[in-house]
Amino acid sequence: MSLQETNTEPRSSSQPITEGIRPIGGIIYGILSFITVFIITTGYFTYRIFDAAETEPDLEEVFPVPEFVGYPFYNAHRVNTPIEFNAGGGFGSQTVADGYFDLFNQLTAVGAPEFNPLVFNAIPAAILFLTGYVIAGRAGSSLSAESSAAAGASVAVGYLPLFVLGTFVLSVEDPEIVAGPELGLGLLFFGALFTVGFGGLGGYVRGNR
- Region 85-111: mean pLDDT is 62
**pLDDT score at 207:** 87
Q: What is the pLDDT of residues 122-175, one digit of tens each?
A: 999 999 999 999 999 888 767 788 889 999 999 999 999 999 999 999 999 887
| Cβ neighbours for 100, distance < 8 A, ≥ 6 positions apart | 45, 68, 71, 72, 75, 81, 83
Which residue intervals of 16-170 are DSSP H helices? 23-52, 59-62, 71-76, 100-105, 117-139, 145-153, 156-169
pLDDT band at 87 (very low <50, low <70, confident <90, very high): low
Q: Which residue ranges make up each domain of the chain?
A: 20-207
Lowest mean pLDDT among 49-63, 69-83, 144-158: 49-63
